[in-house]
A = this chain, B = another copy of it.
């Protein structure tokens, strides 16, 4: 079970978009250059974020991406779901129905293994939904105060 690497990229890029300020749009190429990532592939991930309404995209010159909402209103869950999709990691295929005593047991009763796995995954989702981008930003500013300023400056001079 491995999460797409795009999730890490998307989270970092969202933070950068938040720090550069919401007005000016940032092209995918700039975001990619910041971390030395493949531009086209990062663009694909950003498109996924755009589809879910986390960022808004703007074509043409002076175009790019910018956050569609305030960092306080974007949870880690939102970003993960946008990239990975809404389906749970554990998928019950109801193999018990294939068994010799499957059919009668399947009447109405939900698979209890599935329920247990869902319970765990729900805890995971809850924890992700409890953390917003703003929370992470606050933690970063506490631990490494110079990051926001330097980031903002880098993107500003890159535009020159």
Contacts and interface: CB of A to CB of B under 8 A. Distances in A.
Interface of A: 1-5, 7-9, 11-12, 15, 34-37, 76, 84, 87, 89-93, 95-96, 98-101, 105, 109, 112-113, 115-117, 119-121, 123-128, 131, 135-136, 139-140, 143-144, 147, 150-151, 154
Given A3-B1, A124-B121, A147-B105, A131 B116 contact: yes
A98 B84 CA distance: 24
A92 to B, nearest CB: 7
A interface, over-half SS: helix
A150 B117 contact: no
Given A96-B12, A101-B151, A105-B147, A123 B116 contact: no
Contacts of A3: 1, 89-91
A12 B123 contact: no
A116 B143 CA distance: 14
Nearest to A150: B101
Contact of A123 (B15, B36, B101, B126): B126
Contact of A112 (B100, B139, B151): B139
